[in-house]
Amino acid sequence: MSDSTVQQGALKYEGKAKKMFETQNPDQLLVVYKDDATAFNGEKKGAITGKGKVNAEISARLFQYLESKGVPTHFIEQTAPGHMLVKAVTIVPVEVIIRNVATGSMHKRLGVTEGRVFQQPVLEFCYKNDALGDPLVNDDHVIVMEWATPEQLLTIRQLAKKVNDLLKPLMLKMGLTLVDFKMEFGLYQGQVILADEISPDTCRLWDVTTGRKLDKDRFRQDLGEVEEAYQEVMGRMRKVLAE
């Protein structure tokens, strides 16, 4: 970690879970992960002690792992606990969700039995817009709204499936079922790359043996022991992805 070489410039953007700062390099941004937690498009607000550092470390390890397997990501370096240097991308304003097991909004929307394991992953797109409640959209919406070109959309689909194919077995080694997760992609020098974060904030992770939820659903559903769950995921990941 080498924060000394990265100059934290002006705040460029503040989201619900992260702040993005300019750096001396216009192609790079410094992401500072926050402890703040929100749910239901910002309606429920709180904080999870230590979450910023944990999510930055988990995301950094996962981005490095995915890069090593040929997935391009925005990750450059974890410069300090909770701090991550990334490539400055133009975000495609679409949340890309992969589901391996039925739960959450798909269970609510389609009445599908919770816990049903799908025979193939389900890919969904949602328009990133809190005021509209992040509505579900399809490929045609993405193209006519010009959020991505058909070629970029194809790449996003292929990368999303590849990330799932890589993360499912990795999580299994950690004793976790990757139930579903959300990704965001960005455009960098004409290339589609994986951006944002991958952490217990953006994944549903269930303990393989007990079914215990080790993700943000503990906060969303007031299940308690939220900090402990995030720490547990980080501890397991450190063992499986040793430095």
- Residues at the interface with ligand TMP (CB under 6 A): 97, 104-106, 134, 180-182, 202-204
Q: Map the footprint of ligand ASP across residues 24-63, applying CB under 6 A.
A: 38-42
Provide, rounded to whole angstroms, the least separation between the CB of residue 19 and ligand ASP.
Answer: 15
Alpha helices (runs of H) in the chain, residue ranges in sequence order: 51-68, 104-110, 139-144, 150-173, 217-220, 226-240
- Give the residue among 95, 69, 243 at the shortest CA–CA distance from 165: 69
Q: Which does 83 bind (CB under 5 to 8 A by kind): ligand TMP, ligand ASP, none?
A: none
Which of ligand ASP, ligand TMP, none binds 78 (CB below 5-8 Å, type-dependent)?
none
From the list ligand TMP, ligand ASP, none, partner contacted by residue 54 (C-beta under 5 to 8 A by kind): none
Nearer to ligand ASP, 38 or 73 (CB): 38
220 contacts ligand ASP (rule: CB under 6 A): yes
Measured from each CB, the residue nearest to ligand TMP is 104
Exposure string of 209-219, with b = 16+ CB inside 10 Å and e = fewer, is eeeebbbbbbb
Scan for tokens 């509209």, then name that residue. 132
CA distance 14 to 31: 10
Q: How many CA atoms lie within 13 A of 220 on its CB side?
A: 16
Which residue number places its CB atom closest to ligand ASP? 38
